[in-house]
Structure 1
Amino acid sequence: MAINADTLTAGGPGTPARPLVVSRARTSRRIFLDRFAARTVVLGGIVIISAILAILFVIAAEVWPLFRPPRVVALERLSAGATPAPGAGLGVDEYREAASMVTADGTIQLVPLKPTVTRAAPLPIAGLEGARVTAVAAHGLDRYAIGTSDGRVIPLEMKIEVGFEGARRTVSVKPAFAAPVVLDPGRKRAILRLTVASPDSGPVTVAQVGPHDLIVQTVVEKKTLIGGTRREESVQALGVPVDGEIVALRLDGRGDDLVIGTSRGQLVRYDMRDRGTPTVVETATVGAAPVTALSFLIGERTLVAADAMGAVSSWQVVPPPTGGAATLTRINEFESHRAPVVAISPSRRDKGFVTADAAGRVKLHYGTSGQTFLTFGDGRPLRAVVFAPKADGVVAVDERGEVVDWRVDNPHPEITLKTLFGKVWYEGYSRPAWVWQSTGGTDDFEAKFSLTPLIYGTLKGTFYALLFAVPLALLAAIYVSEFMHPAVKGYVKPAVEIMAALPSVVLGFLAGLWLAPAVERIVPGLFLLPAVETVVILAALLAWRALPPGVRGPFRPGTEVFVLVPVVLLGAWFALTLGGLVEQRLLVGDYRGWLLAALGLTYDQRNSLVVGVAMGFAVVPLIFTIAEDALANVPQHLRAGSLALGASRWQTAVRIVLPTASPGIFSAIMIGLGRAVGETMIVLMATGNTPVMDWNMFSGFRALSANIAVELPEAPEGGTLFRVLFLAAFLLFCLTFVLNTTAEVVRLRLRRKYRYL
């Protein structure tokens, strides 16, 4: 190369160029930096992937116990030394250290279940006076009623006391007997079956003394203005005209409904609200076999019935879907026994219960889901069974008086795939439904953990947000990229990108406190806005083209947007004004009342429309920025070739630029979709957070992310709600992963399709 100007002027040969000399140290340093940078990038990628996998592992570790199969372990088989009395006379303490049993020979037995408990001598039942124990009924916590062969009932409260003798822990039974109540003083017939309820208004006792004969004793306690309470007792005979014989009895805890099981497989429900006149309400058929056992689950709303064929089913008094009087309705059918069911014991903590049959098998069920979890037993015929107070064990006694103890590990019985994603028939509902309601005001609350309304709410909010954001962002990106003057673009694009920096909590705050009330006042105008704006802009375009060139001259191509701004504002004002007129003339002055009367839709102030607008503003900058970059990166020779062949700028943008940039545009939409799916604060603050499945855009919803933010601070660590919220997080993680993966696959296919352009 000639680098000397004098040499070139003289026309002589040029001076050879000096070779570029780079020191070995400099070369080595460059190689080192290149390798270091490459390894740093690889390490950063590995760290990111590891962090994501670690998060996924933590979430999976919290979710796995929900689906871990329940387990049961047989612990002890001990002899009680006596046979149990007919009925529900078996009990166990909270820590499963000792079992108590009312025996047929008129004693109270304490059976140690742990080596640390010393067996005590049997305690006689006070007040028997030579009579035999013919029936035992349990009601409340550790309270029993003992029926005798001479027509009396002996109330009993079984107190299990814990003490210490030195360093040794002792457990003892302290039965507290009340005065016997004579139910059949005249004939002194033996009490065959017994059921008791203890509502606040006073106890109700129903005893069977014959194949079709009942005796009902009611005690009404009334507070007087001066003094204490006044007790009014009444005893009446009740003849039950049933087909067959009475073989089972059960009162609910409120004393409102008496259910009678017959030998022909029927259930007869009596209304006991008027204590003086019990009334037959209805009869329902369980099956062809005799009913052998009845029990109410916690909350006293779900009745479990079992028969001699081993069938087990749950029933509720619910109104029909079409309206009308509530009737006894079969809700769930559980896995059947192979022998007659002899006993049912409900859990004191949840809707679980156990059933025992005459062949020595015990089954663990859950009332809400209709699921049977476990079947266990050693084949010896059983007489009674009791579910431990903490639902962590089962104690049963066989016909020879041997007590069997099992430990049960089933910490999350509420959770099955059906309760999480399917329709479940909950207490008080007229039909199966998807419901999320994690907490209630009472201990007998039936937890409802359906994630389907939350998934539906997430998709609903995302749909309305993208319905607002995608057209606005894409059309703006096309205009800015293809038609706007570069000088104006230099200000507009950074301004839109700055919108992405707005915190979502600020957008949610504004949406909930300002936007929602504002939208409520102008809903008819909002629906007219797109049509009115289109007409106004087209009219402005025609007027612009009709202007003389001298008037349009000061405006350079691509700056017409400044003329369009006042036109758009004028169109918005006209649309809102027209909306008010439409509401007054066509919607009887109140669009909310018209929606309810004409379409059956209710209007909530914080609804999907508000969320769509607010979350749309959060998504627009992302879609706009990425889509505009994709359009701007289309090679200029494609535009030049199209224009040279006679195409207009609009035809070039739509038929050449837009398809070429489609991979980037699709990625922009999918990234916006991912942002909308995972949005938390806007949907938390701008909706009513009501987990309902309703397509109505004027109703609220609850999204997965918002539900996690609301519920997790109050969820007990390790509890069912805590783990279900982690499951919701796992679903959200999988949803965004699928969306991103789909976006990348489609983007690569589009890129290969247009790679030769």
Structure 2
Amino acid sequence: MSLDQTTAAPDLDFTTSASRRLRQRRMLQDKLAAGGIAVGGVSVIIAVVMIFFYLLYEVAPLFKPAQVEPWHVKGAPLAPYTVPGSQSDTLYLAVEEQAEIGFRISADGEMVFFRAAGGELIDSERLDLPEGVEISSFAVLSEASRIFAFGLSNGEIRVLRHSYKATYPDGQRVLTPHLEHPLGEAGIQVANGPIEKLAITNNGDRWGVAALSDGQINFTRLALTENLFTGETSVDRSEKQLPSLGLKPRKLLLTPDLAWLMASAADGKIAVVNLRGEPEITQLFDASEGQITSFQLLLGANSLLLGDDKGKLSQWFFVRNDQGAPELTQIRDFEHSGDAIVSLTTEQRRKGLVSVDNNGALALYNATARRTAFNEPLFDGPVGHIAMAPRSDALLVEQNGKLSYWHVENEHPEVSWSVLWEKVWYEGYDEPAFIWQSSASNNDFEPKYSLMPLAFGTLKAAFYAMLLATPLAICGAIYTAYFMVPGMRRKVKPFIELMEALPTVILGFLAGLWLAPFMEANLAGIFAALVVIPIAVVGFGFTWQNMPERIRFLLPDGWDAALLIPVVILATWFALGIAVPLEQLLFNGDLRTWLSNEAGISYDQRNALVVGIAMGFAVIPTIFSITEDAIFAVPKHLSYGSLALGATQWQTLTRVVLPTASPGIFSALMIGMGRAVGETMIVLMATGNTPIMDVNIFEGMRTLAANIAVEMPESEVGSTHFRILFLAAFVLFLFTFVVNTLAESIRQHLRKKYGSL
């Protein structure tokens, strides 16, 4: 056989039908794979975008401005109508819960129930007065209580409440209004002459009445006692005459705790009287440069609202001064047009208020948020009285003997940038603060929706988790990928990656019920272990390296790292063993007590240290796996070339391998941080869920994710609380998006920088 025949290329035919079918099948598979990958990628992008817009859809109503428009009946705006009942001056206007029935009290004592949308008379009743006795004053306990009182010229008061009973004949709801007498139908004597000014308050079975008569203010306490056998109610009373206020009162106010009386004068002065013990005037000052035109308590009666003829509208409440005594202090004022405030009323279930100025501009405010939700001129000139429905969805306004009825849409006035991200001065606090407290047991509660403690807690938990996980995971990945022998690597790497499959609820359960009490009982031992273990590892490594070769060669090459397991266990046991003597020597026998008493550092059992260890344990597998793959994937010819040129293994690692793998290592850190930021169950079960801002490692925290998990099931769908929880989720989404975008840009920069190695 010739050489040409032996070396000739084989005769291959690529045009056979089988070859064509194979190529077609491969092309189809390639197209299907490419299409599937493209569809999957686009679907992920669409899903993320849909999540973004859904969160935005739920959050957007929080910042929607309020709307006020005339009430519509059968599709047409309701025209103003003449006030029902007596044509004498109006003392008081109100609207019931369903915004169907209005209530009006006139100066001659007529009390009228009428259809709010139209003015049709439903029922009326006139105050039964003795011969020659007239109404000399009038007071409202609060809008929410529906209790009001008449002061009479004979020194008596009559206390009533307008109420509404719902019945359902034939399946149709029917509201029946009626009047009640909480203190009985008979008058109660509180003064010796005509009552010029009157204030009334109530706290359970205790009542307080302040009556100005003949220049003197008499304060009467009434206590209702029900006989358990007869059911009769008796009234126990005590009286005190208050000292001269140093001003001519224009209006009196009493707080529900029967502790304070406040009086305003036309010239802008305010007097504050402490009613505890022997009454005394604690403050007398100029609260306004003009004349006070509105003087009213906000919902809960903890705040005073003050309006004047200069257009200033402000909020005041008691704050402890430097001597520790309560002092009425101006907290905030509200943006206003500058025209005189002529009418003011408050919402019955929120810290909101409604004002009308001298030019007919109506404004809706929220006190806590310091937010002006609405401010537009709706009337020609000043109005007489305004009344807000309990649900804050309707407004009844009297002007020039006519009533107009308005529909109000103001769902979320409690939210503003300052409430979410700035310090707010809340009622009962001595200074502004970041507070998250979303609910309470009554409507007087002032919601506190600051997201700062939650965002701070999220970053705090992530920081301590990454502080533990980052060095352990990266150093472990470097040793496993670069120094460890293949046989041992094949066992260690899957074992560490298997840790990631452990449910975080199990880790949270162990952290909360076992780790936290263990660390509390062995705090000194834990800190001793942080010192003893590194020393033991370094010392063992030095000792092992200097042992005779006949001993070191007893272990297969590369398996000596396994000896560190018993070293770490023994070092931990030793650290826990010396903890008690150390505490006796350095910390007077108890490290926790020493921290609290000597160092001034508070200790909570479920704290950031517990979270750092538990969540770090959960994050380590993620960072380790990605980092190890990135280092192991560095082409071997780079490290071989470096070693061939005389570099040591350590120089090769730090100057060649790690820079080349840096994009992957950085990605591992960002993914691990994302895992830590979004973690829910561990922080939910191991932190105590206290929404505080404290960098102390021994204090707990509450994260955004844990807060959503805790409060979302209890929130009312569509409520402000519900939407703010979605806002928290939106903040988490944006944080993750921004961090990942930044991380990707840095990763690409690192790839370009070290890709040429």
Is the pair's TM-score, using the shorter chain for normalization, greater than 0.5?
Answer: yes
Between the aligned partners of 2:680 and 2:520, the Cα distance in structure 1 is 23
Aligned match for 1:217, one of 217, 220, 226? 220
Tell me if the contact between 2:619 and 2:675 (Cα under 8 Å) persists in the aligned partners. yes
Which residue in 2 is equivalent to 1:378? 379
* SS in structure 1 at match of 2:616: helix
Given residue 482 of structure 1, which amino acid in structure 2 is its aligned partner? Y
Which residue in 1 is equivalent to 2:576? 576
Which residue in 2 is equivalent to 1:136? 138
Q: Bigger shift: 515-524 or 721-730?
A: 515-524
Which residue in 1 is equivalent to 2:75? none
Which residue in 1 is equivalent to 2:121? 119
Cα distance, 1:162 vs structure 2: 6.7
Cα distance, 1:167 vs structure 2: 11
Which residue in 1 is equivalent to 2:74? none
Which residue in 1 is equivalent to 2:629? 629
Between the aligned partners of 1:113 and 1:623, the Cα distance in structure 2 is 66
Between the aligned partners of 1:289 and 1:692, the Cα distance in structure 2 is 42
Tell me if the contact between 2:218 and 2:241 (Cα under 8 Å) persists in the aligned partners. yes
* SS in structure 2 at match of 1:348: coil
Which residue in 1 is equivalent to 2:614? 614
* SS in structure 2 at match of 1:382: coil
In the superposition, relative to structure 1, how do residues 601 and 284 fare at CA in structure 2: closer, same or farther (>3 Å)?
A: farther
Which residue in 1 is equivalent to 2:200? 196
Cα distance, 1:616 vs structure 2: 0.6
Tell me if the contact between 1:94 and 1:388 (Cα under 8 Å) persists in the aligned partners. yes
In the superposition, relative to structure 1, how do residues 369 and 550 fare at CA in structure 2: closer, same or farther (>3 Å)?
A: same
Tell me if the contact between 2:65 and 2:374 (Cα under 8 Å) persists in the aligned partners. no
Between the aligned partners of 1:165 and 1:701, the Cα distance in structure 2 is 53
Tell me if the contact between 1:247 and 1:290 (Cα under 8 Å) persists in the aligned partners. no
C-alpha offsets along residues 405-445 of structure 1, whole Å, 9 cap, x if unaligned? 22111111211121111111112111111111112122322
C-alpha offsets along residues 106-158 of structure 1, whole Å, 9 cap, x if unaligned? 4224443224x632576433216454434321125322112345544333333
Between the aligned partners of 2:241 and 2:7, the Cα distance in structure 1 is 136
Between the aligned partners of 2:180 and 2:507, the Cα distance in structure 1 is 64
C-alpha offsets along residues 149-206 of structure 1, whole Å, 9 cap, x if unaligned? 5544333333456789999988775445622344444xx33x3322111223432222
Tell me if the contact between 1:456 and 1:693 (Cα under 8 Å) persists in the aligned partners. yes
Tell me if the contact between 1:360 and 1:379 (Cα under 8 Å) persists in the aligned partners. yes
C-alpha offsets along residues 545-596 of structure 1, whole Å, 9 cap, x if unaligned? 3222222223344222023333222322333333332211111111111111
Which residue in 1 is equivalent to 2:753? 753
Q: Bigger shift: 91-100 or 593-602?
A: 91-100
Between the aligned partners of 1:499 and 1:448, the Cα distance in structure 2 is 40
In the superposition, relative to structure 1, how do residues 357 and 200 fare at CA in structure 2: closer, same or farther (>3 Å)?
A: same
Given residue 306 of structure 1, which amino acid in structure 2 is its aligned partner? G
Cα distance, 1:217 vs structure 2: 3.1
Q: Bigger shift: 577-586 or 463-472?
A: 577-586
C-alpha offsets along residues 632-654 of structure 1, whole Å, 9 cap, x if unaligned? 11111221122122222122112
* SS in structure 1 at match of 2:348: coil
How many pairs align?
Answer: 740
1:507 aligns with 2:504: no
1:494 aligns with 2:490: no
* SS in structure 2 at match of 1:572: helix
Which residue in 1 is equivalent to 2:49? 53
Given residue 144 of structure 1, which amino acid in structure 2 is its aligned partner? F
In the superposition, relative to structure 1, how do residues 126 and 529 fare at CA in structure 2: closer, same or farther (>3 Å)?
A: same
Cα distance, 1:543 vs structure 2: 1.9
Tell me if the contact between 1:248 and 1:292 (Cα under 8 Å) persists in the aligned partners. no
In the superposition, relative to structure 1, how do residues 362 and 192 fare at CA in structure 2: closer, same or farther (>3 Å)?
A: farther
1:254 aligns with 2:257: yes
1:92 aligns with 2:95: yes
Between the aligned partners of 1:700 and 1:164, the Cα distance in structure 2 is 52
Tell me if the contact between 1:118 and 1:170 (Cα under 8 Å) persists in the aligned partners. no
In the superposition, relative to structure 1, how do residues 127 and 30 fare at CA in structure 2: closer, same or farther (>3 Å)?
A: same
What root-mean-square deviation, in Å, do the aligned CA atoms of Structure 1 and Structure 2 show? 2.6
Cα distance, 1:681 vs structure 2: 0.7
Given residue 706 of structure 1, which amino acid in structure 2 is its aligned partner? A
Given residue 208 of structure 2, which amino acid in structure 1 is its aligned partner? V
Between the aligned partners of 1:466 and 1:173, the Cα distance in structure 2 is 64
* SS in structure 1 at match of 2:610: helix
Tell me if the contact between 1:86 and 1:135 (Cα under 8 Å) persists in the aligned partners. no
C-alpha offsets along residues 444-485 of structure 1, whole Å, 9 cap, x if unaligned? 222111111111111000000000000000000111111111
TM-score by length of 1: 0.92
Which residue in 1 is equivalent to 2:82? 79
Given residue 14 of structure 2, which amino acid in structure 1 is its aligned partner? L
Cα distance, 1:662 vs structure 2: 0.6
* SS in structure 1 at match of 2:69: strand
Which residue in 2 is equivalent to 1:20? 14
Given residue 139 of structure 2, which amino acid in structure 1 is its aligned partner? A
Q: Bigger shift: 456-465 or 157-166?
A: 157-166
1:671 aligns with 2:671: yes
Between the aligned partners of 2:588 and 2:464, the Cα distance in structure 1 is 28
Runs of 5+ consecutive residues of structure 1 not aligned to the other structure: 1-5
C-alpha offsets along residues 289-308 of structure 1, whole Å, 9 cap, x if unaligned? 23232222222212212223
In the superposition, relative to structure 1, how do residues 128 and 155 fare at CA in structure 2: closer, same or farther (>3 Å)?
A: farther
Q: Bigger shift: 307-316 or 694-703?
A: 307-316
Between the aligned partners of 1:357 and 1:539, the Cα distance in structure 2 is 81
Cα distance, 1:401 vs structure 2: 2.1
Between the aligned partners of 1:317 and 1:13, the Cα distance in structure 2 is 105
Tell me if the contact between 1:83 and 1:104 (Cα under 8 Å) persists in the aligned partners. no
Tell me if the contact between 1:319 and 1:326 (Cα under 8 Å) persists in the aligned partners. yes
Cα distance, 1:238 vs structure 2: 3.6
* SS in structure 2 at match of 1:102: strand
Q: Bigger shift: 67-76 or 336-345?
A: 336-345
C-alpha offsets along residues 468-503 of structure 1, whole Å, 9 cap, x if unaligned? 000000000111111111111110011111111111
Q: Bigger shift: 418-427 or 673-682?
A: 418-427
C-alpha offsets along residues 186-243 of structure 1, whole Å, 9 cap, x if unaligned? xx33x33221112234322222335x5323333233567986554233555545232x
Between the aligned partners of 2:208 and 2:751, the Cα distance in structure 1 is 78
* SS in structure 1 at match of 2:250: strand
